[in-house]
Amino acid sequence: MNHDINFTDQGETLGLVARFEEMSKSGDSYYFDVEDLELIVDYYLDQNNFKKALKATDYACSLHPKSGVFLLKQAQLLASENNEAKALELLQLLETFEPDNSDIFLTRGAIFSQLKHYEKAIEEYSKAVIDSDEPDSILCNIAFEYENLGNFEKTLEYLKQAIELNPYNETALFEASHCFEAIGKNEESISYFLGLTDKEPYSKDIWFNLGTAYANLNLFEKAVEAFDLCAAIEPDYAIAHFHKGYILSFMEEYEKARECIQDSIDLDPFDPTKYYYLGECFERMEDFDKALIAYAQALELDPRMTDALMGKSVACAEKGLIDEALEAILKAAEIEPLNVEVLSILGDTYLKKGDIALALDSYFAAVNQSPEDDQLWLDYANVHAENNDIPKAISVIQLGLKHVDKQGHLLAQLAAFNIIKGKVDQGTFYLKEALLADDQAYKFLLEYNPELEDNPILIEVFKNLNL
């Protein structure tokens, strides 16, 4: 029965549109009542044919000059065509005989926002709130204008007002969570969303945002509990399963993480990010075959997904498929040539392939992009060490020390290189400096250079320093 009604309405609309277009071609003037013209305009809008929709509103305004609905639609259409001045002029005219029409203020606010006149947009939206059927939605608009102004405190204030009116306003909840994070109020975020769970214990979105707030403070167990409650309220809520899996991976519970991410994929199989994190779980579990399958699925959905290409490269390298690893990371480098992680993996892959010169080029590019990263300097120096050029490795570390604030690891490695060269005094000096920068630096030295554990010179250095 309902389908019959829809088809009838659709047929009626198409008939009206055909009649309007016949009139336009003939140059004649036909009569259409207000409701008919609304159907014609809406039809063109649904078809994204703004030119014809504007033509229809022009005719409607001439035929029914006292009907404000067409002036409003015309103003909205003109604004979408970037003719804001004419749109504002029409709204001014409409306001003279419909001074309490909140849609006028709402449309004017949107136009001012489009023009980046955010204070004026706030003023208009504030007028629209008064008689609106959906004030929470307009309060969100005001919040977004304050966000455009960089005033996150005010943004949060209006989002809270929107949530107070409608605690199920998904946009307001998620934006509030983002805002708490942006201004570094993660503890307050937890308190706020916990309070909301007392009022609305069956809101999946509130529990989800509480989980996010816990995660932002590394309270992973509590985050998992919140995501569990979220999924209990709505078992098909794919994003809750995914975020639970994401958090479990941080907790190094990779099998549980894999299960959750797979649950999310089963509910929503078209997000490449999920397959990437699934691959990462398999990679951490050292199941590189399954990792490669997951990365391939991610790349099927998004062939330019750099993270998945990096994951594929690493997994291939772990399987000894160096040529395939190089092919994948070179594709990533084409997409993001200045991505430090891509450059680092590229350097490591070239090193595995035995191409020292290209490995050095890659790490040189990486340290230039991120000179404050001590690990990059360590990797860069390690390429020289692998090439039995310890003096060059020492030079790289010394250069890195000029750029890095936390110097403990670099100094420890400088000590290690001097010990390798048989220089007890220099090794002792640099390890002493490393310990002043980081009292655990000696542990790093052993972890990074396990072959030195039984080195008699290192033993002597440790003895000199009472380690």
Residue 171 Cα to chain centre, angstroms: 16
Q: Which of 223, 149, 159, 154 is nearest to 186 (CA)?
A: 223
Q: Which residue would you say has higher pLDDT here, 44 or 355?
A: 355
Residue 154 in tokens: 């005010």
Calculate mean pLDDT across residues 424-448. Answer: 91
Calculate mean pLDDT across residues 262-288. Answer: 97
Identify the residue whose tokens are 């794919």.
238
pLDDT digits (tens, 9 = 90+) for 300-346: 999 999 999 999 999 999 999 999 999 999 999 999 999 999 999 99
Q: Which of 133, 76, 141 is nearest to 102 (CA)?
A: 133
Identify the residue whose tokens are 């050292």.
286
Confidence of residue 1 (pLDDT cuts 50, 70, 90): very low
Percent of the chain with pLDDT over 70: 98
Look up residue 358 and give its amino acid: L
Given this model, what pLDDT does residue 9 score? 65
pLDDT digits (tens, 9 = 90+) for 234-246: 999 999 999 999 9
Identify the residue whose tokens are 């250069």.
399
Given this model, what pLDDT does residue 459 score? 87
Instruction: Please say if the pLDDT value at position 403 is more than 80.
Output: yes
DSSP string, 203-221: -HHHHHHHHHHHHHTT-HH
Distance CA 373, CA 369 (A): 9
Q: Which of 87, 129, 77, 134 is nearest to 108 (CA)?
A: 87
Given this model, what pLDDT does residue 415 score? 93
Instruction: Please say if the pLDDT value at position 8 is more than 80.
Output: no
Confidence of residue 4 (pLDDT cuts 50, 70, 90): very low
Q: Among the listed ranges 59-63, 368-372, 390-394, 413-417, which one has the minimum average pLDDT value?
A: 59-63
Instruction: Please say if the pLDDT value at position 263 is more than 80.
Output: yes
- How is the chain split into domains, by residue range? 406-467
Given this model, what pLDDT does residue 261 score? 98
pTM score of the predicted model: 0.82
Long-range contacts: 292-299, Cβ < 8 Å, 24+? 292/316, 292/319, 297/272, 298/272, 298/273, 298/274, 299/272
Calculate mean pLDDT across residues 27-41. Answer: 80
